[in-house]
Structure 1
């Protein structure tokens, strides 16, 4: 209302200043971040995952629970089924300036991405938090995710190999069950070979075994297990050359080739075991759940691998999860990361069948033995004492792995002698190792 004697120009000026202040404040709010368009909005984190496939529903429920329990962070689980395509997507998005915040990988792709400087060094973030307790994680697992002295990932679970066996087949053949103790001196490569022969059966008389003593894969992890038992390694310490041409390496390849060419073993998967086509299977602890879900009609359990000339061994591989260093929301990503890898969440993941967890306190708990659902739980637990990391710390490991797998296929078919097969790829692998340092 106008009052005689007042100064209308000053009044109008004040109104104009008020309007301008509102406009400027709004612009400032809009400029604070691309995802926080208004005060009180949640920070959005993108988790680009390829390893969610092990218990899909648990991962989605866990994310939904986290989003509902607080009002500051919203996690979106984005999935890509192909391991290689997911790793490529991470590289492309980081290069484009639109990085995901949290990622996981098939272990074959971890080292390359870590060496690119894409991942956050977790050492100072986690080591200083006593509640998180980094010391609770198995050291070989942390070592496998450490590059140039920096910890770039935490493993959701540990992947290593045990022996599964069909107890009904062993009983029918009059054979003792495979050893539970990895250091049992009576369970050796030779007794394994003999057992495989007695367990193999030609059911239709065509001269070919329809049921074989064992099946195992040619994945690097399985081959590294055999090599370690035989006293051999894939590479030298400095990753400069393929070392399968040592006497121990050639003897190991010859042993495996003899198993397959004689017909008592074959390369295959857990499906052969579940179908009753193999008496023994080399696979990870996670496969126990798959066997149970398949309603396997035979009595079965887990055991130790046979000891080779160098003693007992199995290959260990992590399932890496990491934070992208160029994330726009590092603080919030760390909050979710600590939640996901907390001891409480590790216990829940173990109960959901996501095994084996990397925390010692979880693996040694009484509930873990129950969750495994096998009589010979000690065979799974003791494997951690003889596990050796898969040597994947080279940027060209995927290509090298492909060359080795192709070479092994020829050896196992009896097409090429082991020493000639190794010689045929040695220079190729050396070049890839040098390029991938």
Structure 2
């Protein structure tokens, strides 16, 4: 019996549970922030759900603008009882949402009804949606950053291992040797990095802090103890790569992708969400042979920053959700979780373990190759100041861009960042 058959069977059981609770058709109001390839895939999953639950449950979905606009609308809508029945949410934003009182707890009874449990999720992912021992969302995926690489260029330069991965992933010295060898081979940019966007570079920098067991927030203090030194270590390494011409300078997000897909950059650090871009270009015959792997170990051990798309239930002020509506919402969440193999084609790593353990997922590349990084994931510190488009991102990004591009001393940047963060 295949794993996916078991998953489908579990979904059928959940549907039966719902049928026993709700007699009339329920319409579930859904908000998400998913655009591009993400949006295409989620719309397909919603359509599949509606077809499978015809006459019982219908999802009425709306896609809103990603980032601050989405979260601001959720906050104001929940305050007047006009938020949706279910919505996508970033795990990194949950501490702020809990403080604002705009999320309902996903109770132990809810998890039982959905047929989901803590055992189905990586510990870091489960913890990312937990506050004081309570769960406030159901993780759909983890979406970390990875190292994309041009197999053709690296092969020509003799820089691929026998299993087709870049040489030098095991240490800073080895990886820098690979970068320098690529430069000597005439590659314009050995590494493409989003060095003009400090918000994006937070992901890389926080990953490399994690490789030193560094923490941004310790007992309410930012960059306490030797954590400032660990941040300085990272900024020094990355600034050095820029100065030596090993990574691109003042490059924004679209330009970074363009450098890689055009072949001007042999490797690129970017999110797994760019996998569909590569897949589509290759299908059209417009891209070289490529791959994606976990970030190289630059310091002590592997570590990668990740966030999770998750499902949350708003706490609509003055608007009680009926048992029938809640049963419908839980069925929506459970069905999407258990059928998230399609979501993996967007590059994301499904959070629901039985999907990533299935034979179908293990045959999916490059996802299956980089999925090992889930053992080394780190999430944002648990504070209302963290998360997508949050104050921590804003403060740090101000100093990351000039530092990475050689215009500010790393030690000075750390002192400024530390002072501003603690002023928050």
Sort the TM-score into its range (normalised by shorter chain): 0.7 to 0.9
Larger Rg: 1
TM-score by structure 1 length?
0.78
1:109 match? 93
Say yes or no: does 1:304 pair with 2:304: no
Cα 1:172/1:406, change in 2 over 3 Å: same
2:272 corresponds in structure 1 to 285
User: What is the aligned counterpart of 1:380 among 361, 370, 395?
Assistant: 370
Q: Per-residue CA shift, 1:202-248, capped at 9, x if unaligned?
A: 97xxxxxx721112334222221121224433222x23223486333
Deviations 1:87-108 (CA, angstroms, capped at 9, x unpaired): 1111111122222111113445
Query: Paired residue for 1:420?
Result: 412
- Unaligned segments of structure 1, at least 5 residues: 1-39, 204-209, 433-437
Question: CA separation of 1:114/1:422 partners in 2, compared to 1, >3 Å: closer, same or farther?
Answer: same
| Aligned residue in 1 for 2:343 | 349
Q: Distance in 1 between matches of 2:81 and 2:245?
A: 54
1:340 aligns with 2:333: yes
Q: 1:363-421 CA distances to partner (integer Å, 9 max, x unpaired)?
A: 1221112233x3xx653122111222232532365112111011111111211111111
* Higher-RCO chain (CA-CA 8 Å, sequence separation at least 6): 2
Contact kept, 8 Å, 1:120 with 1:325, in 2: the verdict is: yes
Deviations 1:170-202 (A, max 9, x none): 1222323498899x9972111111211221379
Structure 2 residue aligned with 1:435:
none
Please say if 1:51 is aligned against 2:28: no
Shift of 1:63: 2.9
How many residue pairs align between the two structures?
381
Question: Would the aligned equivalents of 2:144 and 2:307 in 1 still touch at CA under 8 Å?
Answer: yes
Q: Following TM superposition, by how much is the alpha carbon of 1:354 offset from its aligned partner in structure 2, in angstroms? A: 5.6
Which secondary structure does the structure 2 equivalent of 1:395 belong to? coil
Corresponding residue number in structure 2 for 1:10:
none
Of 20, 43, 49, which residue of structure 2 is paired with 1:60?
Answer: 43
Evaluate the alpha carbon distance shift between residue 262 and residue 231 of structure 1 in structure 2; reply closer, same or farther with a 3 A threshold: farther
CA distance in 2: counterparts of 1:50 and 1:330, whole angstroms: 26
For residues 243 and 79 of structure 2, the distance between their equivalents in structure 1, rounded to whole angstroms, comes to 48
The answer to whether the 8 A contact 2:148-2:267 is kept is yes
User: Could you tell me which residue of structure 2 aligns to residue 250 of structure 1?
Assistant: 232
- Aligned partner of 2:363 in structure 1 is 370
Residue of structure 2 equivalent to 1:216 = 193
In the alignment, the residues of structure 2 paired with residue 246 and residue 80 of structure 1 have an alpha-carbon distance, to the nearest angstrom, of: 37
SS in 2 for 1:104: strand
- 1:35-72 deviation line (CA, Å, top 9, x unaligned): xxxxx974433211113544434333433444452434
TM-score, scaled to structure 2: 0.80
Structure-2 change in CA distance of 1:394 and 1:47 (3 Å): same
Q: Once superposed, which parts of structure 1, at least 4 consecutive aligned residues long, lie more than 6 Å away?
A: 178-182
1:273 aligned residue: 260
